[in-house]
A and B are shown apart, each in its own frame.
Chain A
Amino acid sequence: MIYLLNFIYGFMCTIGFAVLFNSPKSALLKAGLGGGLGWSVYFVVHHNYDLIVLPTFLASLVIAILGEVFAIMEKQPATLYIIPGIIPLVPGFGLYYTMLSLLEQDYNLAIQHGVEAMLIAILIAAALTIVLSINTYRKNLP
Chain B
Amino acid sequence: MSIKKEVLIVAIYAGEIMLKNGGETYRVEDTIMRLCKSRGFSYVETFVTPTGIFLSMDKKNAPEEEMSSYIKRIRSRNINLNKISKINEFSRNFVNSSMSTEEAMQALKKIDEATSYSNLTKSIFGGLASGFFALLFQSNLLESLSAFITGMLVTYSLNYLLSRKMPFFLANILGGGILTLLAIFFSYMTPSIHIDKIIIGAIMVMVPGVAITNAVRDSIEGDLVAGLARAGEAFIIAISIAFGVGAVLKIREISSFIMEVLRQ
Contacts and interface: CB of A to CB of B under 8 A. Distances in A.
Contact of A15 (B22, B125, B238): B125
Interface residues of A, number: 47
A95 B221 CA distance: 23
A100 B207 contact: no
B117 A19 contact: yes
B210 A86 contact: yes
B159 to A, nearest CB: 9
Contact of B125 (A16, A80, A99, A117): A16
B242 A9 contact: no
A16 B222 CA distance: 32
A79 B23 contact: yes
Given A6-B136, A9-B136, A22-B117, A103 B243 contact: yes
B171 interface: no
Contacts of B243: 99, 103
Contact of A16 (B81, B126, B220): B126
Contacts, number: 152
B136 A13 contact: yes
B129 A17 contact: yes
Contact of A88 (B84, B122, B133): B133
B14 to A, nearest CB: 13
A18 interface: yes
A82 to B, nearest CB: 10
Interface in B163-221: 200, 203-205, 207-210, 212-217, 220-221
A125 B200 contact: no
A3 interface: no
Contacts of A141: none
Given A91-B209, A125-B213, A100 B246 contact: yes
B239 interface: yes
A66 to B, nearest CB: 16
15 contacts: A10-B136, A12-B128, A12-B129, A16-B130, A17-B125, A17-B205, A79-B23, A83-B210, A86-B213, A92-B204, A92-B207, A98-B238, A99-B241, A121-B216, A124-B216
Interface of A: 6, 9-10, 12-13, 15-24, 27, 39, 75-77, 79-80, 83-84, 86-88, 90-93, 95-96, 98-100, 102-104, 117, 121-122, 124-126, 128-129
